[in-house]
Each structure stands twice: as structure tokens, then as C-alpha cells.
Amino acid sequence: MTATRMQRSTDALLQRYTGVRADSQRLAAPLSDADATVQSMEDTSPAKWHLAHTSWFFETFVLSDAVADYTVFDPGFAYLFNSYYEAAGPRHRRGGRGMLSRPSLQRVLDYRAHVDEAMAAAMPIFGEKHRALVELGLHHEQQHQELLLTDILHLFSQNPIEPVYDRTISLPVAVSEQDAGTGWIAHDGGIVRIGHEEAAADAFAFDCEMPAHAVLLQPFALGARLITNAEWAAFIDDGGYRSPALWLSDGWAWVAREGIDAPLYWARADDGGWTQFTLRGRRRVAPDAPVTHISYFEADAFATWAGARLPREAEWEALCNHQLSQAFDTCWQWTQSAYAAYPGFRPAAGAVGEYNGKFMSGQYVLRGSSWATPQGHARATYRNFFYPHQRWQFTGLRLARDI
């Protein structure tokens, strides 16, 4: 994290804390205890686990450190709800998170109340270090809010009865968009500065977004908008999933092994059109909406088919605040940049140093944010990252080319 000077007032911080924490519970409100318990694959976590883990984060890294007489809610929870912090002790194996029918959802909510009460009481005494950790914990929780939604979507997709999460939820990526512009936005290249400026007052960023630094770019252009479902359907119709020449070697092996022939959650309707399972249930694919739930391998194959390539993350960041449509709040956009340390990168101090750095192998950076990303969470320098075969997130693509 290494957020810079945290200057919020205690009141402002508490208000923000309260708001973010309430958001998580609002997202979990449509879920039963059972919905919140099941783990649908090793990549996902139960909603209950998200709710508890984010609380464990505050309890472990803030309350237990800052509040002398803080009593942990349940001594057994550290083992259950530590995700991957080696420094924070042993923990339950990731693939076994779905075995936890107990503690119940209600007990996890009690845990949250216990932590929230203690946090509210202690907020005035937190110094710079702990205020920074609170800020980190809130951004951490916002990440889990989006994961909670993508994980529930995946779970419900595994159920033949295809439950509906919320029949009224707004799904910008599942409805037709206004025409988002066409063509390419060009950039002359040269030295650009990317990453988070530590001097930025009152601004949060994760450690992996730092240090800000100069990068030399060649001239390039980015697509003005995201690729749509209609364009993806054309790729399918043109045999895109059956043409090895379009694919990375690892990607083609994945397609063959898994029998991939369309984005995740797509299915053929009886009339030959496409439907898509969403948090509102199964719906007709909207032709003008951006395609989502595609892997890096698929995004790369599509770009090759289109005679283009994927953007580098520095290219995306150089243009994102300019003419790009749908840079934020629509879907995450695969870049061709492997997730790696910026020059001069230093992990955050303490156990939270495990937050980002140790994942810097095998994953690709996604930029922007999705409709499901909490407001205020993302920014131009934000680096999301996933493995190239993963596609249960709200992932799409924007093309790039050399000019």
C-alpha cells in the first residue's frame, strides 16, 4: 500500500469506513447462509469467507496492533480467514474454504459488528501508520466486494436451476450501449510518466502502482471503445475458436483441453443466437454491449484475428484520461503486460508487504475498472491482475496497434 500522507479527519475516515463496510453487507443481503457458504472452484471463495476475511484484516493488522486491550472475536478465526499472509501464521487451505458450513453467516455478521464497534471506538487514537492501514483495509475490502459478486455469479452458474442474484441489479455490460464511438485514438509515443506519485496528497494507491516513473513509448493507437458482443460473435462465426494460428501456444492448449468455444456463461439459444448467464439470470446477449468473461488467451486471439494487438499497460495509462470511452466502470481490460515490479518497487512494510509483490509471476495486468468495481476504488494507475486462462471476472478488451 504505502499510501502517502493520510490526512483525512477521524470523522471522514470513520464515515468512509462505515460506508464501505455497509456496502459489503448490502451485496451479501440477497444471499442465504447456504449461498454464502459454497466454494464453486478453487479460484473463488464463499461470500461468507469474503465477509469474514476482510474483517480479519482489520482485526489482525489494525486492532490487534493498535489497541492494547482488544479482544479478538474468536481465536479460531485467524486460522480460518487468513488468506495467504505467511507472516500472519498458519491457515486453512484455499481449496477447503467451502467446507466451512460453520461459522454461520449470522455469526460472521456478528464478527463484523464486533470489529466495526472496536474500529469506531479506536478510530480517534489511530496514528499515521494505522490510519494508512485502515485505508488499505478499505481498498482491500472493495476488492473483495467485486470478487463476492463474480464468485456468486460463478456459483450460480454451476447450479442447473440458475438462480437469480438480484432481478433488478443494473448490468451496464449486459444491455446495449449507446454507440461508444469508433476508430482509434493515436499517441505519438515518447517519454510518458506512469504510476502513482507518492507526493499526491490524500491519495491512496497500492504499492505495486509505485514508484511513478518514466517510460519510453513508440507511437501507437488504442481503440476508442471496447470490443462488443456482436464483434465477438463474428469472431466465433469466423471460426476463431477453431483456428490454431490465431492463438498463443498455451492458449490453444487450453482451448483444446477445456473445450472452449465461447465466452464463459454464453450458451446457444434454440434460434442460434446467444444467451449469457448474469446476476439477473440468463439473458439474451446484447450485441452492442462490451464482451465480458473472456480470458487473456481469448483476448489475444481476437486481437490477432482483428489484425491488431492488446495494449501495453503504459499505453493504456498514457491515454486513459483522454479520449478513451469506457476506460472505467464497464469492464476490466486485458493488457499484454505481464504483472511485474515497476523499477524501484518496494513492497509495503510489514505483513501487508505480501499483498502484491509475491504474485508477480504468470499473471497479466488488466486496466480500468468494471461496472462492479466500487465507486472510488479504481484510478488511472490501478493494476488489476489475473492468470491468462481466468475469465470469471468482468474482463473484456480494447484493441491497440502500432502506428
**Binding-site ranges for a copy of itself (CB under 8 A):** 32-38, 40, 76, 79-80, 84, 86-87, 92, 96, 98-105, 155, 158-161, 163, 191, 213-218, 220, 244-245, 247-252, 296-297, 300, 309, 312, 336-338, 340-341, 343-344, 354, 358-362, 388, 402
User: DSSP secondary structure string, 225-242?
Assistant: SPPBHHHHHHHHHTTGGG
Separation of alpha carbons 365 and 392, rounded Å = 15
Q: How far is the CB of 313 from a copy of itself (least distance, A)?
A: 11
Cβ closer to a copy of itself: 301 or 324? 301
Give the other-Cβ count within 10 Å of 173's Cβ. Answer: 24
Q: How far is the CB of 72 from a copy of itself (least distance, A)?
A: 14
Q: How far is the CB of 248 from a copy of itself (least distance, A)?
A: 5
**Angle, vertex CA 167, rays to CA 166 and CA 169, nearest 5:** 65
Cβ closer to a copy of itself: 163 or 287? 163
Cβ closer to a copy of itself: 46 or 290? 46
Give the other-Cβ count within 10 Å of 316's Cβ. Answer: 24
Measured in whole angstroms, the distance separating CA 169 from the mean position of its chain's CA atoms is: 19
Q: How far is the CB of 268 from a copy of itself (least distance, A)?
A: 18
Q: How far is the CB of 291 from a copy of itself (least distance, A)?
A: 20
Of 388, 392, 393, whose CA–CA distance to 249 is shortest? 388
Cβ closer to a copy of itself: 10 or 101? 101
Query: What are 304-309's contacts with CB under 8 Å, separation 24+?
Result: 304/246, 304/247, 305/235, 305/238, 305/240, 305/243, 305/246, 306/235, 306/399, 307/401, 308/223, 308/399, 308/400, 308/401, 309/336, 309/399, 309/400, 309/401, 309/402
Q: How far is the CB of 175 from a copy of itself (least distance, A)?
A: 25
Cβ closer to a copy of itself: 180 or 248? 248
Name the residue type at position 341: A
Cβ closer to a copy of itself: 191 or 201? 191
Q: How far is the CB of 364 from a copy of itself (least distance, A)?
A: 8
Cβ closer to a copy of itself: 232 or 296? 296
Give the other-Cβ count within 10 Å of 179's Cβ. Answer: 9
Q: How far is the CB of 310 from a copy of itself (least distance, A)?
A: 10
Q: How many residues make up the chain in this entry?
A: 403
Exposure class string for 343-353: b at 16+ Cβ within 10 A, else e: eebebbeebbb
Cβ closer to a copy of itself: 234 or 351? 351
Residue 265 DSSP class? T
364, β-bridge pairs: 338, 386
Q: What is the sign, positive or negative, of the torsion defined by CA atoms of 387, 389, 394, 399? A: positive
